[in-house]
Amino acid sequence: MCLSVCVFAANDKVVVASARDWSLPAGMQPVPYSGFVTWGTNRFSDKITVFGIIVPWRLVNTAPGVYDWKPVLQSIERARSGGMRVGLHVKGVERAMVPEWVLSKYSVPIIDVRPLQENQPWRLQIVPPWHPDVMREYAKFLEEFGNSGIPQMPEVVYGYIHGISPSRGEELFLRPVDIDEWEKTAGLTPDLLAQCLKLRLDGMLKAFRSVEHKLAWMTGGPLAAGQKGHEEYARQTDGLMEYALAHGAGWRSGGVDFQHTLFRSKPLGASLTPDGYCVIDETLPIHAEKRFNGDENEEYGKYWEWRFGPVEKHDYRHRISTLRTLQLRQNFQYISPATLQFNPELNEYARLTQGRATGNSPDAWAYLRECAIRGERGPLIVKNLERWLVQRDVEGSQSVAWQRVDRHPLGADPPGRNWDFDARRSDRRNGQDGLAFKLDPKFWPATEPAVLKVTYTDAEKTSWQVEYSGPGGGKRASAKVTGNVDGQRKTATLDLGPLSAAGAFAAGTDFRIVTLGPGDVTVTLVRILKVNWREQ
């Protein structure tokens, strides 16, 4: 088998390309329960396979006791006839989503929401979902939604459990200013907020009976957590996420295009080791049961300069954020036209590999980098992005973070730290001549032929090669890679032949990239591919 954009070299040769290499086996298709998603019905790319459609309370429930699902069913049928699937957004908080008869019958207040930033290009009005009459009528709407049978339709792949937010109205977070204002003007209390959210959660769980895996809870913990003076809101909403997951729901984070969120995420089983590596607990039901695990990797281009600065720097954030979706084992992504304008090869790689597990993935990878995020006691250093292949600093292979990238400030940045390192290098001057790697045994359980793709910067006069063990544990070495010190980023493809992940190197690692000198080797990405892989 060969890859679609590369040629495998013989054992004594190496192929070097002057670019990043995201090639995959020819004919590879996305896994069935995955997809790129867009709002509405504008399929701006054939890479889009899911339309996110709104189920507006206002359109369906036009009068007391009157429910008309034909517009929603027609939207689903149009998508199906075009070879598309749909995700559902059952809304009832934004002003435009609430029936007029509800507003007039119960004299419900309408709230002008303070923008997230003054340069935000939209403004928002909401109807308080905690209003007792609104809650009661919305509960009837959700019950009728469940009776419609729409959630169980095979064309429906997800349903967001919408809440309340100052962003687009129906996400799930509140700022201190929102709570303070709405307590005074709209009767908000911790108890009413908790009732409102629990009602929506139970209503959606009931509506999606037998297909709860399609559901997406939308926050990682209690609302207002850590907000001084609002502790009762956190106490009253604590446990809702756990309740949703315990009843079969999946999760939507909504923050992956902020680049450095979600290194620690309870619903996704993401945590940081003491030495700064993000690891994922794949035994959690959201991963093991292939529930909805999605995000919104869409905030790129001119429209989003108000939040992320000059568009010229969005390419780097797109690359890191897209790899983070895969690191987090996500299977659905909202994307925008601007998303696909950056890194087409990486976008296609993400589309084909999202939602995969160790048993059906053709590759594993480690992207070598370093960043810093805010911690409770100061900055936390986070190393690498990894999926079933990890790089670790062990004796003889202690790495150095390298190649600084300055970028627009992010919310997760410690004060003054709006930059990252986009590679790691060996450290010969301190007796560390390599970079050590270990494979996940679930991904590489037995000896088999391997191809290694190493993306490196040809920055110093040096030669390097890969040391690994073959059948029976015998040590082997790949062909040598010798650069011309042109400062360019390149990808070397090495055919290793049979590789045994037997932990034969320091601290149980499986192979090393070793510099032969006189300079160091600087590496950004290492991908290992199974030569005999076949789509299941």
Low-confidence ranges of the chain (pLDDT < 70): 1-12
Per DSSP bridges, beta strands 511-518 and 434-439 are antiparallel
- The string of DSSP codes covering 433-498 is -EEEEEE-TTT--S-EEEEEEEEEE--SSEEEEEEEE-GGG-EEE---EE------EEEEEEEEEE
Position 8 scores a pLDDT of: 32
Q: Which domains does the chain have, with CATH numbers?
A: 15-21+364-527 (2.60.120), 29-252 (3.20.20), 256-359 (no CATH)
pLDDT of residue 410: 96
142: its two tokens:
């959700």
Taking alpha carbons only, the member of 434, 489, 488, 424 closest to residue 463 is 434
Q: Report the SS3 class of residue 135.
A: helix
Cα distance from N-terminal residue to C-terminal residue, the chain:
15
Alpha-carbon gap, residue 385 to 309, rounded angstroms: 24
Residue 140 makes CB contacts below 8 A (sequence gap 6+) with none
Residue 12 is predicted with a pLDDT of 59
Contact 363, 529 (CB under 8 A): yes
Smallest Cα–Cα separation from 197: which of 226, 219, 176? 219
pLDDT at res. 25 = 96
Helix (H, G, I), strand (E, B) or coil at 94: strand
Residue 39, sorted as left (phi over 0), alpha (psi -120 to 50) or beta, turns out to be beta
Could you read off the pLDDT of 207-242 as tens digits, one per residue? 999 999 999 999 999 999 999 999 999 999 999 999
Q: Are strands 293-296 and 332-334 parallel, antiparallel or unpaired?
A: parallel
Type of residue found at 45 = S
For residue 276, with 0-12 CB atoms within 10 Å meaning exposed, 13-18 middle and 19 or more buried, which class applies?
A: middle
Name, in order, each residue with C-beta under 8 angstroms of 69's C-beta and a sequence gap of 6 or more: 60, 148, 150
Tokens read off for 504: 């034969």
Note the pLDDT tens digit of each residue in 111-128. 999 998 888 888 999 999
The whole-angstrom distance between residue 512's C-alpha and the CA centroid of its chain comes to: 29
Q: What is the mean pLDDT of the chain?
A: 95
Per the CB < 8 A criterion, the answer to whether 336 and 300 are in contact is yes
d(CA 335, CA 253): 14
